[in-house]
């Protein structure tokens, strides 16, 4: 029961994270292009602040539940007298997932802070530059997240 619960939370956290990136990149950002820079930056700052709080929880939950599921699988194999060899798809998922968390932490605690400071000082050019970097790194994370999904789905299909 615990395993099923953690796996469900793992998947739901990834859905929130990846789905939020898709929404921000392909729906919210283009719609906001109609606004003048100060209004656009203020709105994106507010939206991203809320989203990043959710992603912080989701990313840590995804990482923690993933580590727990890997440790559980390894422990079961070792307890039965076997040698645990992590499947290649799991290695890819763990590596890319860890990279995604690291990238998110950079976005949240470095780039978003720049955006925060720029908006507080009404420095719209600096805010736009910070938002462009955030968008670039979110695109990279979205690509990594989709790659994790593909690796996972292709592994299950085999």
Q: Mean pLDDT of all residues in the chain?
A: 95
- Interval 75-126: pLDDT, tens: 999 999 999 999 999 999 999 999 999 999 999 999 999 999 999 999 999 9
Smallest CA-to-CA distance from 141 within 43, 58, 66 is with: 58
pLDDT in tens, 58-79: 999 999 999 999 999 999 999 9
Q: What's the burial of 64, exposed, middle or buried (CB within 10 Å: 0-12/13-18/19+)?
A: middle
- Contact at 8 Å (CB) between 63 and 97? yes
Q: Which domain holds residue 130?
A: 2-157
Res. 29 pLDDT band, cuts 50 70 90: very high
Query: Cα-atom radius of gyration of the chain, to the nearest Å?
Result: 18
Residue 93 CB partners (closer than 8 Å, separation 6+): 66, 148, 151, 152
- Give the pTM: 0.93
Structural domain count of the chain:
1
């Amino acid at each position: 029961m615990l395993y099923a619960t953690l796996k469900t939370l793992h998947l739901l956290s990834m859905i929130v994270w990846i789905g939020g990136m898709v929404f921000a990149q392909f729906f919210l950002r283009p719609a906001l292009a109609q606004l003048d820079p100060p209004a656009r930056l203020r709105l994106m700052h507010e939206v991203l602040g809320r989203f990043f709080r959710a992603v912080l929880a989701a990313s840590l939950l995804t990482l923690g539940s993933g580590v727990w599921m890997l440790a559980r699988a390894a422990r079961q194999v070792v307890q039965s007298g076997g040698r645990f060899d992590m499947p290649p798809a799991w290695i890819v998922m763990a590596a890319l997932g860890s990279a995604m968390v690291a990238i998110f932490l950079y976005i949240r605690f470095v780039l978003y802070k720049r955006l925060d400071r720029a908006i507080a000082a009404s420095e719209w050019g600096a805010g736009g530059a910070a938002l462009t970097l955030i968008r670039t790194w979110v695109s990279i994370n979205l690509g990594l997240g989709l790659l994790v999904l593909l690796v996972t789905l292709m592994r299950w299909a085999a």
